[in-house]
Structure 1
Amino acid sequence: MDIRSLSAAQSYAFARPATQPEPDHNGMAQGMRLTFQDFATTLKHSEHMAEASMVGQADPHALVQALAQTELAVETAVIVRNKVVEAYQEILRMPV
């Protein structure tokens, strides 16, 4: 057997595990799921506070605080979305 083919076979065998999914990626998916659930919870809380404020059952300070949290959550989501779109466009511009 030629030494170059042996070296190539060893390099391939070494690199092969890098192409297989790692069990750690499931933790990343779980983290993203929790992030989206927190975002939805923040929006629902703000809606409930606004409804309660309309009928006079909520403190105006709590309403302003809930709206500020919602504004921050939406701004963060927009920034993340813009970064994802920018990265996707950058990938599309890459030469093949």
Structure 2
Amino acid sequence: MDMKSSAAALGYATARPATQPQHGEDSAENTFASAAQGLSDTIRNAEQTAMSSMTGGADPHALVQALAQTELAVETAVTIRDKVVEAYQEILRMPV
């Protein structure tokens, strides 16, 4: 009987509490940071392609492709933002 209680205590002590932030590769902070960096890189690439196209350095097909990628990235960011705001508003509506 003492063996079971010590095993339960050990399991409880080694479990990560839900209130502690998770640091590492799979944390939400790293996920959002990499998503934001990807959006920034996509926009920067489209700007460089647009400037190159204006000076004759890039073909129009590359410009259209870069603008389409940027449009998709911005629409994705707006959709994620809307979902976060919706979730926040839902939390605010919860009774305490």
Q: Deviations over 1:4-34 (max 9, x none)?
A: xxxxxx9xxx5x8534425x44432222211
User: Which aligned runs of 4 or more in structure 1 are off by greater than 3 angstroms?
Assistant: none
AA aligned to 1:44 is R
Q: Percent identity?
A: 54
1:8-87 pair list within 5 angstroms: 14=12, 17-21=16-20, 24-27=22-25, 28=27, 29-87=29-87
AA aligned to 2:80 is V
Q: Deviations over 1:9-68 (max 9, x none)?
A: x9xxx5x8534425x444322222111111100000000011111111111100000000
Distance across 2 between alignment mates of 1:66 and 1:19 = 41
Shift of 1:80: 0.1
Q: Name the residue aligned to 2:5.
A: none
Higher alpha-carbon Rg: 1
Which 5+ residue runs of structure 2 have no aligned equivalent?
Answer: 1-7
Q: Name the residue aligned to 2:3.
A: none
Q: Name the residue aligned to 2:92.
A: 92
Q: C-alpha root-mean-square deviation of aligned residues, in Å?
A: 2.5
Q: Name the residue aligned to 1:6.
A: none
Distance across 1 between alignment mates of 2:68 and 2:84 = 24
Aligned residue-pair number: 85
Identify the structure with the greater helix proportion. 1
